[in-house]
Chains A and B, each alone.
Chain A
Amino acid sequence: VQVNPVKSQPTTSPLIPEMATQEVQLNETLAHLKTESETLKTKLEEERAKLHDVELHQVAEKVEALGQFVMKTRRTLKGHGNKVLCMDWCKDKRRIVSSSQDGKVIVWDAFTTNKEHAVTMPCTWVMACAYAPSGCAVACGGLDNKCSVYPLSLDKNENLAAKKKSVAMHTNYLSACSFTNSDMQILTSSGDGTCALWDVESGQLLQSFHGHAADVLCLDLAPSETGNTFVSGGCDKKANVWDMRSGQCIQSFETHESDINSVRYYPSGDAFASGSDDATCRLYDLRADREVAIYSKESIIFGVSSVDFSLSGRLLFGGYNDYTINVWDVLKGTRVSILFGHENRVSTLRVSPDGTAFCTGSWDHTLRIWA
């Protein structure tokens, strides 16, 4: 039995008068900063309100209402042995990659429902996966705190794990990852509260993004012509917009009442939607710098896990923890449809690159394609 010697402690001397005043000063300054912070926050709200001359649903009054929707499950992809946590579409509009709790990452041709590749990760809870823009590789990561890239091959029998490349290294779980406009860079978000941009070839950290006070759960890259920003959402209830070049947070929105599980840009890049554990989806206008719509209903109280827009931006699809999918009219703020089918929470939802369908992954071990 090892006994650690107790270090002799110096007897606590009475606080020297200077130290006492310093401590009091520090407390005063903290209180002072807090008041200043609250004043500034109010002033920001005032500035935003000055330019707020119309509500979204007012502008939407002239827009014609949507008709009835008939959306059905067109494919059910069975093959994962445990909860499906994440999925992403390939640019060819038919292939997808999905990852699950048991460490399996599967590449499917969703159109034919054939499984083309399967990789077993060395960790469980693979919470993030992404398809490379070229269609030649996939990235994934989770509880291993890393993001790894697997080049795909035409040979179905090839062992993909042999060519695996470790790219990102975080100090906590990987919650989301995305390729930028090429296969050469990956953007990641992590439970350690940071996001980071990495060079795939060398594994070098190109830029890190600090500012979230807790786990970052999701991110999305801006589709705009300049393509230099991305938005992230976290457990600190904040959605932050970042400049990839400088690493600075350029805009921040804190209106949700709980964790933000998903963020997605509006197709034009001038706005983004968020889905949160507080059961609401919200739309934020980046040019007006404010929240402009809340998509919620009294009867919907279970968290949103994942959101995505249809191609035109008129519809917002949300996957919920009560196993359903709610479809919202982005302009009028009403729910246009509710879809049933999954037997456990919907954990991930993405619209296909050409907008012809959307895919949901669920904790019931399956993925479904809806159109």
Chain B
Amino acid sequence: MTIRTVRPNRGQRFRPRTHCLKKLDAMVVEMQDPKNGVKGSEQKLNVTTIPHAITGANIIAWISNKMKTTTEEAQVFGTMLMAYGYIYPLQNHRKLVMCNDSSLYRFQTPYFWPTQQWVPEDSDYAIYLAKRNIRKKGMLEPYEQVDYNHLHEWLNHKWDFIVMQATEQYKAGRDRNKADRVVFDCQERAFWIVNRPPRRTHSALDVGPERLINPNVEEKITFDQYRRVNIFYQQAIMRSKVKSSVSLGALVKYITSYKNHDAFLAPCLPSNPWETDHDAYWTLNMRRVDVPTKMRVERWSFSLFELLTDLRGRDDFKIFLKKEFSGENLAFWEAAEELKWGTASSMSAKAESIFKTFLAPGAPRWINIDGRTMGLTVKGLEHPHRYVLEAAQTHVFMLMKKDTFFRYLKSPTYKEIQKKALSPEAHNFSPAQLEDNARNRSAGIHPIILWQQEEEEKAKAAAASVPVDVKAVMSKIDRKK
């Protein structure tokens, strides 16, 4: 028998946790229950009689009945049982897919079931391949031969040991009677197909990179960790929480507001580009359209955040603010955003420019925030970091949210754009037109080009909106005098 070695602790390298194994074990035991399990029988395959073979159709029917699911879901489940190695096919041993017909399968012996505790190593696989080679040269399939050659290279230092083990197993195998040997060979081959899958065989044991944590061991929590966790719990207990009815009510309200804007819940007008292969929906909703759609304008009214996130909405808001001569709050907010999300190297320069433009006494675009916040911010700007404007930015945002935003929604600017907004008719393509659309899918404009256009527009706007420095103008006039 293959020697089981406890996986060595190589300093935190473990297989990912597989939570489903316990349930799968229990399920497979039930499936083999003589009274209530899957109906099996002897089946004839070629010349041999195979005991305990079951048909795919019976397995799927049993699963469907037990889990109260559709046949399709039961088939998926059956395939997973094979992908994990609990059931193996008798006819095409490399195809780990459950078929809903008279294809034959058998339950794998529990000895070979997947387990989180033990993982087969390369040396185990090498022993298996070597053993088959000893039995009959040329018995290995091409992919196995490739594997064998690789292993011979990597494990060359252990090769004597491997051959010795393989020979012992081979000899032990010869002592068994033929029927048992055939069954065992089948089981062992099925095990290795799942653990070392050939290309194009989907095995669930083919997992990703190893993990830091050992899924079999309870985490040992250190002194320091307990201290930190306790402090965290204390803070969490103190933190103010909201009643469930209030917060859940807010979640429901959000869903209700956005219901008609969700393409999965309400039709997308004129049509969903993915369904009809026509990209009118995207063209109508581009960044810089003259006239936005009614849905888009409606969305601006949901919250200030929505209005500002949609740059077209932000443009409209700016038009309104210009009329009210109160654009400095938004300008400050935008500048603060640029500081927060900008490069580390640009921060000092940006902070200085923001101070001169918005915060300094007599600044050209002075923002009206409370004295305390102003004091804190100005002090913070002595050693600027990316969150130095946080307090001021939040204050300004709240001002806009609670006052300016609502005035905007009632303003002629907004009402005008609401009236002008487009309500596209739903597309009604004939099958021929749909085929045509599919053949002529538009490439749209590349995002890089759009980005370049945006940057140009921003530069133009910045140049145009430089506030008149009254002092400079006055002093020029004085000097001229």
Residues of chain A having any CB pair with chain B under 8 Å: 26, 29-30, 33-34, 36-37, 40-41, 43-44, 47-48, 51-56, 59-60, 63, 66, 69, 71, 74-75, 85, 90-95, 109, 111-112, 114, 125, 127, 134-136, 143, 152-154, 172-173, 180-182, 184-185, 191-193, 199-202, 204, 206, 213-215, 224-226, 228, 235-236, 245, 249, 251-252, 257-259, 266-268, 270-271, 276-279, 285, 287-290, 292, 298-299, 301-303, 310-315, 321-324, 330-331, 338, 340, 343-345, 354-357, 363-364, 369, 371
Contact = CB atoms under 8 A, between A and B. Distances in A.
B447 A314 contact: no
Nearest to A92: B447
Interface string B243-258: 1111111111011111
A48 B264 CA distance: 34
Contact of B273 (A44, A60, A111): A111
B275 interface: yes
B91 interface: no
B314 to A, nearest CB: 13
Interface stretch (B208-216, B412-420, B469-477): B208-216
Residue in B77, B234, B341 whose Cβ sees the most chain A Cβ within 10 Å: B341
Nearest to B259: A312
A240 B275 CA distance: 38
Interface residues of B, number: 94
A257 B254 contact: no
B262 A311 contact: yes
Contacts of A226: 394
B319 interface: no
B451 interface: yes
Interface secondary structure of B, over-half rule:
helix
Return the 4 tightest CB-CB contacts between A and B, nearest first: A135-B447, A214-B213, A312-B258, A40-B233
Contact of B344 (A69, A134, A182, A206): A206
A63 B255 contact: yes
Given A206-B344, A356-B281, A173 B275 contact: no
Contacts of A152: 448
A356 B444 contact: no
Nearest to A50: B241
Given A180-B341, A270-B247, 16 more contacts: A37-B230, A37-B233, A40-B237, A48-B241, A56-B251, A59-B245, A90-B447, A111-B441, A125-B209, A136-B447, A279-B20, A288-B247, A299-B69, A331-B251, A356-B272, A369-B274
B398 to A, nearest CB: 10
B163 to A, nearest CB: 25
Contact of A63 (B221, B225, B252, B441): B252
A173 B209 contact: yes
Contacts of B447: 90-92, 95, 134-136
B161 interface: no
Contacts of B230: 33, 36-37, 40
Interface string B277-302: 00101100100000000000000000
Interface of B: 16-20, 23-24, 67-69, 72-73, 76-77, 79-80, 202, 204, 208-209, 211-213, 219, 221, 223, 225-227, 229-230, 232-234, 236-237, 239, 241-252, 254-259, 261-265, 268, 272-275, 279, 281-282, 285, 303-305, 337, 340-345, 386-387, 390, 394, 397, 441-444, 446-451
B208 A278 contact: no
A278 to B, nearest CB: 5
Contact of B251 (A111, A276, A303, A313): A313
B205 to A, nearest CB: 12
A206 B343 CA distance: 11
Contact of A287 (B242, B279, B285): B242
Given A37-B233, A270-B251, A314-B255, A292 B244 contact: yes
A127 B208 CA distance: 10
Contacts of B451: 134-136
5 contacts: A225-B303, A225-B305, A226-B394, A312-B259, A354-B282
